[in-house]
Structure 1
Amino acid sequence: MMNKRMTVDLGMLISFLVLLDYRLVRNFGHETLALVFFFLFLIHTWFSGTLPFPGAGGTWTGN
């Protein structure tokens, strides 16, 4: 069984791929999926415990 973070990542991937095809979802669907993607991004950031850029207080694990 997938853990929570993998489920959120899969949801982000699917919503992003559907967002790319504007002809499929039209305007309302595009805006709705953008909100879904944004909230999934916030949940993903909360699960990982870091911010996506180090200047805002996140941790940096790179070299």
Structure 2
Amino acid sequence: MKYTPKELRARKGETQKMTAKSLGISYQTYCSWEKNLGKVPISKVAALCRHFNVELSQIKYE
């Protein structure tokens, strides 16, 4: 099953601010990622996978 970052964040029970802080990025940057995952640098995609404990193939690009 594939999930968007927003769905993964909700499943973990985090706010956008909590997730952004954990990833070491600004809240505004994380918000833009949820809207357009194509803007995410590959190094940060890996960080998203680690943070949400999922494989890259489980992240749905919208």
TM-score computed with the length of structure 1 as normaliser: 0.32
Larger radius of gyration: 1
TM-score computed with the length of structure 2 as normaliser: 0.32
The structure, 1 or 2, with the larger RCO (C-alpha pairs under 8 Å, 6+ apart) is 2
Determine which structure has the larger helix proportion and give its number. Answer: 1
